[in-house]
């Protein structure tokens, strides 16, 4: 179920939002890194926006909880084991 739908229904959404953030940020990093591989050295010069995409994608894994924290939150919700 989509996080926005859960919010609108007034249901808990913390775990689902952690899963969505983790998936989206890691997918963005993977896509940006693949683009950088295609561009090679040109991906690091300002003439092409690929370097900016890599930096922006990497930052998405850090703000509002790092990917590692998101994994811990999802793991706790699924198993009941607190790894903090």
The Cα–Cα gap between 21 and 18 comes to 5
Q: What is the pLDDT of residue 20?
A: 94
CATH ID of 3-79, from 1.10.10.10, 3.90.180.10, 2.60.120.380, 1.20.140.10: 1.20.140.10
Catalytic-role residue among 8, 16, 26, 64: 64
In this predicted structure, what is the pLDDT of residue 37?
95
3-class SS at 4? Answer: helix
Q: What residues does each domain of the chain span?
A: 3-79
Nearby residues of 26 by Cβ (< 8 Å), 6 or more positions away: 61, 67
Q: What is the pLDDT of residue 47?
A: 87
* 8 is annotated as an active-site residue: no
pLDDT for res 44: 85
- Per-10-residue mean pLDDT, the chain, length 84: 90 94 96 95 88 93 91 94 83
Supply the pLDDT for residue 64. 84
């Amino acid at each position: 179920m989509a996080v926005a739908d859960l919010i609108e229904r007034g249901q808990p959404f913390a775990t689902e939002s952690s899963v969505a953030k983790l998936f989206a940020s890691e997918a963005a990093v993977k896509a940006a890194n693949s683009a950088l591989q295609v561009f090679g050295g040109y991906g690091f010069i300002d003439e092409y926006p690929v370097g900016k995409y890599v930096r922006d994608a990497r930052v998405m894994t850090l703000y509002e909880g790092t990917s590692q924290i998101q994994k811990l939150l999802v793991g706790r919700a699924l198993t009941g084991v607190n790894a903090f």
